[in-house]
């Protein structure tokens, strides 16, 4: 008598996974085309999930999604390596009811992701390469150091003002740049007790430490421009008035590939240079720029736009025309869009920008 073949196969069937990622565990919901299998917790490991799927749904096609979060894209790469077709989604793009917003829990979140994935309602965000991500980390770390330096400079000034000590007029400007003269003056101050002297000494040392770290990272970033093919692109970008090396590095680390944006509007939307809208019936309200943005990139472009209007005659003319109709902060957003158009042009055509007064 011939034995029956008891091998189970899900070949040709799709399995959808909604994953709510956390540091110590994942909440996973498994769905079929027309039914819910179950929701469960597991260790935060793609291999554990792979073994579960291969055991329970052999030969099926696996699709998964999770919200962009603290784990970045490392989980995405692990899932893809395990044979699971994954996308990372912006949390704001997941369809959510009012009840789900007010009664959040891991189980509900994972089911919501799985259902939206199955329904085709989710669109994955762009996944940069590992090299670009590490490059981006260094550029953003420099931005963090800049904030720390400024924060500690202000702490020193607050400490002086609190104790009734005024910065001499001849050092007021140099104090902003933490010059050698200003540092020498600070170290020469004396307080009534060792507590005041020790506090100032620690504040000076902390600020000096962060300034040295900032200098170290900045030097590393300047050296990077000769590696990984960044040199040519940086040369193209800094040909545009308002774009310096650090801004160019920020652009390259955040965008990676300019060709992934089909037009200028798509690029502006990614950066966050589009207005918020609220339309209903015949009413259409257009507000300030959207809060949804790539903030490091938006800040860099806005800062570059302010520099550009002081160095590019055509942008200066356009800015002055805009100022007659709107406030300066709105006018500079329009200038930033023009700057982005130039950035797209030089990167797409690999041609340096030629300054024109027309």
CATH of the domain at 104: 3.30.420.140
Based on the fold, state whether residues 112 and 140 are members of the same structural domain.
no
| Closest to 205 in 3D by CA, of 187, 192, 191 | 187
Based on the fold, state whether residues 260 and 197 are members of the same structural domain.
no
Give the residue numbers spanning the domain of 265.
243-349
Structural domains in the chain (count): 3
Based on the fold, state whether residues 115 and 174 are members of the same structural domain.
no
Based on the fold, state whether residues 115 and 137 are members of the same structural domain.
no
Q: Which of 119, 147, 169 is the last residue of a domain?
A: 119
**Per-residue pLDDT, 263:** 93
Is residue 232 assigned to a domain? no
Within the chain, residue ranges assigned H as helices are 46-56, 74-81, 98-102, 106-119, 130-162, 169-177, 180-187, 194-224, 230-237, 245-255, 264-271, 295-311, 313-323, 328-349
What is the C-alpha separation between 313 and 326, in angstroms, rounded?
20
Report DSSP state, residue 125.
P
Based on the fold, state whether residues 259 and 320 are members of the same structural domain.
yes
Based on the fold, state whether residues 137 and 206 are members of the same structural domain.
yes
Contact assessment for residue 261 and residue 270, using Cβ atoms and an 8 Å cutoff? yes
Is residue 238 assigned to a domain? no
Q: Which residues of the chain have pLDDT under 50?
A: 1, 358
Based on the fold, state whether residues 211 and 268 are members of the same structural domain.
no
Phi then psi dihedrals of residue 34, to 5 deg: -130, 10
Is residue 51 assigned to a domain? yes
**Per-residue pLDDT, 170:** 87
Based on the fold, state whether residues 77 and 140 are members of the same structural domain.
no
Is residue 315 assigned to a domain? yes
Is residue 310 assigned to a domain? yes
Based on the fold, state whether residues 158 and 112 are members of the same structural domain.
no
Tokens of 233: 């692109």
Is residue 330 assigned to a domain? yes
**Per-residue pLDDT, 249:** 93
Based on the fold, state whether residues 277 and 186 are members of the same structural domain.
no
Based on the fold, state whether residues 208 and 254 are members of the same structural domain.
no
**Per-residue pLDDT, 1:** 45
Contact assessment for residue 83 and residue 62, using Cβ atoms and an 8 Å cutoff? yes
**Per-residue pLDDT, 65:** 96
Based on the fold, state whether residues 255 and 338 are members of the same structural domain.
yes
């Amino acid at each position: 008598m011939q034995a029956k073949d008891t091998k189970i196969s899900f070949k040709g069937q799709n399995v959808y996974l909604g994953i709510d990622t956390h540091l110590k565990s994942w909440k996973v919901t498994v769905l079929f085309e027309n039914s819910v299998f179950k929701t469960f917790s597991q260790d935060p490991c793609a291999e554990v999930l792979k073994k579960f799927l291969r055991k329970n749904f052999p030969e099926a096609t696996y699709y998964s999604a999770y919200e962009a979060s603290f784990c970045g894209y490392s989980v995405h790469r692990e899932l893809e390596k395990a044979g699971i077709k994954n996308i990372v989604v912006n949390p704001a793009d997941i369809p959510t009811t009012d009840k789900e917003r007010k009664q959040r829990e891991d189980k509900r979140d994972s089911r919501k992701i799985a259902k939206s994935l199955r329904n085709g309602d989710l669109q994955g965000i762009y996944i940069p390469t590992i090299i670009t991500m590490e490059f981006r980390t260094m550029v953003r770390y420099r931005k963090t150091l800049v904030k720390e330096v400024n924060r500690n400079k202000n702490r020193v000034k607050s400490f002086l003002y609190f104790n009734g000590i005024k910065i001499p007029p001849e050092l007021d400007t140099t104090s902003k740049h933490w010059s050698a003269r200003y540092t020498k003056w600070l170290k020469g101050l004396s307080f009534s007790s060792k507590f005041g002297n020790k506090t100032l000494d620690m504040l000076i040392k902390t600020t000096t430490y962060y300034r040295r770290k900032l200098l170290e990272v900045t030097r590393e970033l300047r050296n990077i421009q000769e590696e990984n093919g960044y040199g040519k692109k940086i040369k193209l970008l800094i040909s545009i008035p308002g774009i310096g090396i650090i801004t160019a590095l920020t652009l390259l680390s955040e965008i990676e590939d300019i060709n992934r944006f089909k037009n200028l509007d798509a690029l502006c939307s990614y950066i966050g240079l589009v207005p918020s809208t609220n339309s209903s019936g015949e009413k259409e309200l257009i507000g300030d720029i959207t809060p949804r943005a790539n903030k490091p990139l938006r800040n860099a472009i806005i800062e570059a736009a302010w520099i550009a209007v002081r160095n590019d005659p055509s942008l200066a003319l356009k800015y002055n025309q805009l100022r007659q109709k709107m406030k300066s902060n709105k006018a500079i957003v329009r200038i930033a869009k023009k700057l982005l158009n130039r950035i797209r042009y030089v990167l797409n055509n690999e041609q340096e920008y030629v300054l024109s007064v027309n």
